[in-house]
A and B are shown apart, each in its own frame.
Chain A
């Protein structure tokens, strides 16, 4: 099974990297960009066909390591 975990900064957390990217897009002349927030994407392969088990494993992966839940949110998608 393939899964994707997306980790993003919580709203209100200052994102200096996002700000720098936003500035760079502006200086490249990309029109209409009003805000950039950067994050991380993890593409994960899980063995077996047990969706509930895979979801539990991914939840545990996100909580224990992939995200720092003090500053980040995560979203799990199983395909």
Chain B
């Protein structure tokens, strides 16, 4: 799996992401600068990592979404290429129109930095084939604007088409407002685009991939992607 991690000014999770990709795919990802106009030839997976691009000025992800590289990322996605957008990357993907909806200020107005539980809603996608549907994983979040909202019609479509991949849940997989840390509609933590090749999620699976990190729950996402490309090859 040949992956490319896009680096925007103010991003700070690109190295965590590169480390997870190197560890699990066995291949060094390319780091692509935001001002570049193209992705490395043969890229299988594009990652928009977490951080604080442009200091979250204007709106989170708004300025990065208009960076030169994003035209190439949008073309890559339009051709069916897989895009993984984490945290600030999710905000960038929404601002760029790759995913519907908006990530608003957390409902309780606080920055949240802790582990959360996520229920994996389905396993028949390249992003979640490393998990079982209904499985609960524990991964960190670190965000102030992760409160996913969209209009009623968009939410109905996301739900109806099975495009919600991760939901904030209790440790035993119950969807409960008490475990919905940021107030996201329907506890949405991660969604797919219409074509199902772009995943946006607020939590950081790349931070739970090896024993030294305390847990390895995030590994399944990357291992699943690697399997997806092995199966395709």
Give residues in A with beta carbon < 8 Å to B: 13-14, 16-17, 20, 64-66, 68, 70-71
Size class of the B contact interface (CB-based, 8 Å): 20 to 34
List chain B residues, Cβ under 8 A from A13.
104, 149
List chain B residues, Cβ under 8 A from A68.
59, 62, 95, 102
Majority-rule SS of A interface residues: helix
A14 and B107: CB pair below 8 A? yes
A71 and B149: CB pair below 8 A? yes
List chain B residues, Cβ under 8 A from A66.
58
Give residues in B with beta carbon < 8 Å to A: 58-59, 62-63, 66, 95, 100-102, 104-109, 147, 149-151, 183
Q: A74 → chain B, closest Cβ, in Å? A: 13
List chain A residues, Cβ under 8 A from B102.
68, 70-71
Residue of B nearest to A9 (CB): B104
A16 and B105: CB pair below 8 A? yes
Cα(A64)–Cα(B101), bound, Å:
16
List chain A residues, Cβ under 8 A from B108.
16
